[in-house]
Structure 1
Amino acid sequence: MSHHTSPASPPSLHAWQVILGGISALVLTLGLARFAFTPLLALMQTQAGLSDAAGGWLAAINYMGYMSGALLASWLESPRWRHRLYSLGLCLSLVVTALMGMSDNFWVWALSRYLGGLCGAAGMLLGSGLVLNWLMRSGHRPELGLHFMGIGLGIIVSALGALLMARLPLPWAQQWFGFALFGLIFLISAWAWRPPVPPAQSPAPASTTAASAAADLRKPSRAWTAWMTAIYFCGGWGFVISATFTVTIVERQPLLAGQGPWAWLLVGLAAMPAVFLWDRVARRVGELQALLIAFALQCVSVLVPAASDSLAAALSGALLYGATFIGIVSMTLALVGRRSPSNPGKAMARLTLSYGLAQVCAPALSGAMAQASGNYRAALLLTAFVLALGMAGLWRLIRLERRELHAQQNQLEGASRTR
Structure 2
Amino acid sequence: MDSTFARAGRPPILESLAGAAILAVGMGFGRFAFTGMYPLMVKEAVMSVSTGSLAASANYAGYLVGALAMSGVNERHAARLSRGALVGTVASLAVLAIHPTVTLLIGTRFLAGLVSAVSLVAASVWLLQTMNHQHGAPILYAGVGVGIAASGQLIAIGEAAHVGSPALWLLLAAAAFVLSALAWPITLHTAPLPDEQTQRTSPSHRSVRPNIGPWTLVVIYGFAGLGYIVTATYLPLLIKTTASHLSAPYVWACFGLAAVPSCFLWHELHQRCGSRLSLAVNLLVQAIGVVLPVFSHAPSAFLGSAVLVGGTFVGTVTIIMPAAKRVAHVVHFNLMAALTAAYGVGQIVGPLLSDRLVERTHSFDQPLAAAGAALVAAALVCVVRRSA
Give the TM-score normalised by structure 1.
0.81
The structure 1 residue matched to 2:227, chosen from 230, 238, 255, is: 238
Q: 4+ residue stretches of structure 1 with deviation over 4 A?
A: 195-199, 341-345
Partner of 1:410: none
Deviation at 1:135, TM superposition (A): 4.3
The structure 2 residue matched to 1:87, chosen from 72, 83, 107, is: 83
Indicate if the aligned counterparts of 1:338 and 1:344 stay in contact, CA closer than 8 A: no
Partner of 2:157: 164
Aligned-pair identity (%): 25
Q: How does 1:24-39 map to 2 (within 5 A)?
A: 24-39=21-36
Deviation at 1:382, TM superposition (A): 2.1
Partner of 2:201: none
Matched, 1:71 2:68: yes
Give the AA of the match of 2:35: T
Q: Which moved more, 1:387-396 or 1:95-104?
A: 95-104
Give the AA of the match of 2:219: A
Partner of 1:4: 3
Matched, 1:288 2:292: no
The structure 1 residue matched to 2:145, chosen from 146, 152, 155, is: 152
Taking the aligned partners of 1:197 and 1:226, their CA distance within structure 2 comes to: 32
Q: How does 1:9-408 map to 2 (within 5 A)?
A: 10-77=7-74, 79-136=75-132, 140-194=133-187, 196=189, 224-254=213-243, 256=245, 259-340=247-328, 346-397=334-385, 400-401=386-387
**Secondary structure, counterpart of 2:138 in structure 1:** coil
Deviation at 1:253, TM superposition (A): 3.7
CA deviation string 1:80-105 (max 9, x = no partner): 43332222111222222111113432
Give the AA of the match of 2:14: Q
Indicate if the aligned counterparts of 2:25 and 2:180 stay in contact, CA closer than 8 A: yes
Gaps of 5+ in 2: 197-204
Taking the aligned partners of 1:158 and 1:309, their CA distance within structure 2 comes to: 25
Taking the aligned partners of 1:275 and 1:345, their CA distance within structure 2 comes to: 27
CA deviation string 1:174-231 (max 9, x = no partner): 21111112222201211021165788x99x9xxxxxxxxxx9xx9x99x922222111
CA deviation string 1:337-367 (max 9, x = no partner): 2333799993211111111111111211122
Taking the aligned partners of 1:366 and 1:96, their CA distance within structure 2 comes to: 26
Give the AA of the match of 1:284: R
Indicate if the aligned counterparts of 1:237 and 1:362 stay in contact, CA closer than 8 A: yes
Give the AA of the match of 1:86: S
Cα gap change, 1:167 to 1:392, in 2 (>3 Å): closer
Taking the aligned partners of 1:372 and 1:52, their CA distance within structure 2 comes to: 17
Taking the aligned partners of 1:163 and 1:343, their CA distance within structure 2 comes to: 45
Taking the aligned partners of 2:255 and 2:332, their CA distance within structure 1 comes to: 28
Indicate if the aligned counterparts of 2:8 and 2:191 stay in contact, CA closer than 8 A: no
Cα gap change, 1:317 to 1:359, in 2 (>3 Å): same
Taking the aligned partners of 2:240 and 2:334, their CA distance within structure 1 comes to: 39
**Secondary structure, counterpart of 2:3 in structure 1:** coil
Indicate if the aligned counterparts of 1:70 and 1:121 stay in contact, CA closer than 8 A: yes
Q: Which moved more, 1:55-64 or 1:41-50?
A: 41-50
Deviation at 1:31, TM superposition (A): 2.1
Deviation at 1:323, TM superposition (A): 0.9
Indicate if the aligned counterparts of 1:299 and 1:387 stay in contact, CA closer than 8 A: yes
Taking the aligned partners of 2:253 and 2:361, their CA distance within structure 1 comes to: 29
Q: Which moved more, 1:340-349 or 1:170-179?
A: 340-349
Gaps of 5+ in 1: 205-214, 405-419
Taking the aligned partners of 1:362 and 1:67, their CA distance within structure 2 comes to: 13
Taking the aligned partners of 1:54 and 1:197, their CA distance within structure 2 comes to: 43
Give the TM-score normalised by structure 2.
0.88
Cα gap change, 1:16 to 1:175, in 2 (>3 Å): same
Taking the aligned partners of 1:189 and 1:289, their CA distance within structure 2 comes to: 37
CA deviation string 1:299-340 (max 9, x = no partner): 221332222232222221221111111111221122102333
CA RMSD after TM alignment: 3.0
Give the AA of the match of 1:317: S
Indicate if the aligned counterparts of 1:48 and 1:172 stay in contact, CA closer than 8 A: no
Aligned length: 376
Taking the aligned partners of 2:51 and 2:338, their CA distance within structure 1 comes to: 30
